[in-house]
Structure 1
Amino acid sequence: MRFHWSLSSVGDPMRRANAAATTSGLPDLSAHKEFACRAEECGIESLLVAFGFSRPDPITWAAALGAVTSTVKFLVAVRSGIMSPTYFVQQVNTLSALTDGRVCVNAVAGRAPEEQRFYGDHLPHDQRYERTDEFWTICHALWRDDGPVTFTGRYYQVEDALLRTPFVSRDRPEIYLGGSSDQAVALAVKHADCMFTLPDTPSRLASRIQPLLAGGTEVGLLVSLICRPTHDEAVAAAYRLIHVAGESATAVHESARRRTDSVGFGGMYDAAIRESHWPTPYLWTGAVPYLGAPSIALVGSPEEIVAALAQYAAIGVTQVLFMGYPDLEQMTFFGAEILPRVRLGVS
């Protein structure tokens, strides 16, 4: 398995308990630099730099973190409709030159129509995926560098496009796509190397990811980690998390649920409200009403987390994008207590 970590709440573990409109779009840069350097020590392959109105520009932020690191990659998020595909490829290729190729891309279609309109994007869910298909068709053509690129679509028109800024270290960056809808699956099979999806029980997830595996696309989990030396300590930490978030956080995410058109995020929130908070002995949805869909968590001791990862590996999951509570401590614990066991194949 390959392991990644999200920067989304680094330095501010209760960020998701608050409305995005009230949070700062400039995280603590020193905390992020420290985290990026520690990630290299912990064996983390890449760090997700998310996109949104309450966050810094991911490419610029990744460039700053790339200057103080040497091996970790940066998984920069992009939404189609925000910029031209030609300009985006030029940006990513430039970032690859600054970081010696340590760049991969997280393609997202957007999950909040209200926020999309901040950027002048008024398309509904399905049309955003249609546009994203056109976006990545042009990007891949530019990375292939097999001559001037001309494309005439519904959303993009490019004529004889050329770029003389190459991607450093390989032909193109690895492409990750996040989503759960049928449109996301089809798009991932066509354009992505790996699709990140929210976890479910291994038996239910196995059938859901089969079309991806059959199409030659890897599958990764987007999941939080709450791991402590013992099972009881981990469970106690999980319930302490929602106590700290407080009941006011549920109003934040009830409002967010009403505004999202994301199949995965909306479905996860609904399931967390309606079903058992423990779909399996190690998978916990109890924080979702307080901290949102990405807070679905693997909870347990190192041995239990290794066993859980093995069950997902058995159905074809090959990558994991973690968040942690708190991030720095959990990533450090992961690197010391979980990753060595995973590499040795022992629990």
Structure 2
Amino acid sequence: MSGLPNPDEHVEFCRRAEASGIDSLLMAFGFTRPDPITYSAVLGAHTEKIKFLVAVRSGIVSPTYFVQQINTLSALTRGRVCINIVAGRAPDELRYYGDFVSHDERYERTDEFWRICHALWRGDGPVDFAGQYYRIEGAKLNTPFVSDERSRPEIYLGGSSDQAHALAIRHADCLLTLPDTPKRMEPKVRAVLESGTEAGLLVTLVCKPTHAEAVEAAHAIVASAGQKARATHNVLRKQSDSVGYTTTYDLADRESAWPTPYLWTGAVPYLGPPGIALVGSAPEIVDALFEYRAIGVTRFLFMGHPDFEQMTFFGEEVLPRVREREQAGSLLT
């Protein structure tokens, strides 16, 4: 897999996202990809509306320098930046970056990181902080966060563990988690919602004109991935200490591939936990979104296969139906 950026192709993708009514695009972090902050600045210079959801891990840079980077990006994009906090899911990959702390320690460190970041965005004057992982003395920045709407970026936190939920309540605007059935998810996100933090799903979308076509497309994704991909993810599964990943792998193992009429786990062994998918026609996908909305889920971070095609179909067929139902009196926001 190449980590080289492809600006021409990705600028086109960003512009299609704008035309499709998409709010923001995830700029993921990892050794297989370009640096998300640098690349967001490049793509932001060629777009008008789309926001960039920049993934960040504590332990990679100092919190002061990170806020300086994000504030600079906000100035270059007129505030079109938000943050996806990722504590990390695979210890072996974290070690590429010199990060050797345990799962629970990563969350403790991330808490310190964001306490410092928020203090800088609040403008608390020179910031002093002495913790187990970070020590900051007299920190200040002359580059502010630039936005007509906010004094800091909107913050999403990805995770399913108790530590992730607690961290989202303290520091994030929205918790992003992998899906389960609405019935099983409802008690898991209740405390997050009661705190005033939103809940969202990270989920693959397989949407076609008919249910049969969507199911066929879903199985084609698995066939295209092949047994080599399954073997790779068997290895990755053993290396991950992510609660969300472990839970989703277990869900794919222990139940039917269809925990609900629209939620499909069949691609998880081949694509990993983010391969858990909502599958169906446009009206069926809308019904699924509203079922999750009924338990308080208000944000959705979709992946598509192929992503350009699925995003276009979503913008043309799914999103208008969502808006129509909203106008008819739905609570989905």
The one-letter code matched in structure 1 to 2:21 is G
**Corresponding residue of 1:323:** 303
Mapped pair 1:293 → 2:282: no
Task: Tell me which of the two structures has the higher relative contact order, counting C-alpha pairs closer than 8 angstroms and 6 or more residues apart.
Answer: 1
Provide the residue aligned with 1:279 in structure 2.
259
Structure 1 residue 129: deviation in Å? 0.2
| Match of residue 135, structure 2, among 145, 152, 157 | 157
Residues 74-93 of structure 1: pairs in structure 2 closer than 5 A: 74-93=52-71
For 2:93, the equivalent position in structure 1 comes to 115
Match of 2:145 in 1: 167
Q: How does 1:1-347 map to 2 (within 5 A)?
A: 23-169=1-147, 170-345=150-325
Identical positions, percent: 68
CA offset at residue 91 of structure 1?
Answer: 0.1
For the residues of structure 1 that align with 2:254 and 2:224, how far apart are their CA atoms? 22
Q: Which AA in structure 2 matches 1:179? A: G
What is the rounded CA distance, in whole Å, between the counterparts of 1:132 and 1:196 in structure 2? Answer: 16
Q: CA deviation at 1:271?
A: 1.7
Question: Structure 1: how far apart are the matches of 2:203 and 2:275?
Answer: 7
Shift of 1:27: 4.2
User: Deviation string for 1:280-327 (max 9, x for gaps)?
Assistant: 000000000001110110000000000000101111011000000110
How much is the aligned-residue C-alpha RMSD, in angstroms? 1.0
Please give the secondary structure, in 2, of the residue aligned with 1:247. Answer: helix
In the alignment, the residues of structure 2 paired with residue 115 and residue 29 of structure 1 have an alpha-carbon distance, to the nearest angstrom, of 26
2:273 partner letter: A
Cα deviation for residue 270 of structure 1 reads 2.1
Q: Structure 1: any 5+ residue segments left out of the alignment? A: 1-22
Tell me how far apart the structure 1 counterparts of residues 187 and 228 of structure 2 sit (CA, whole Å).
Answer: 36
Deviation digits for residues 7-29 of structure 1, max 9, x if unmatched? xxxxxxxxxxxxxxxx1112433
Q: Number of residue pairs matched?
A: 325
Rounded to whole Å, the distance in 2 between the matches of 1:196 and 1:153 is 27
State the SS of the aligned residue for 1:134. helix
Gaps of at least 5 residues in structure 2 are: none
Instruction: Please give the per-residue CA displacement for 1:150-206, whole angstroms capped at 9, x wherever unaligned.
Output: 000000000010001000012100010000000000000000000100011111111
Using the size of structure 2 for normalisation, the TM-score is 0.96
Match of 1:246, SS? helix
TM-score by length of 1: 0.92
**Equivalent-residue separation in structure 1 for 2:170 and 2:274 (angstroms):** 25
Partners of 1:214 and 1:279 in 2: CA distance: 27
- Matched residue type, 1:212: V
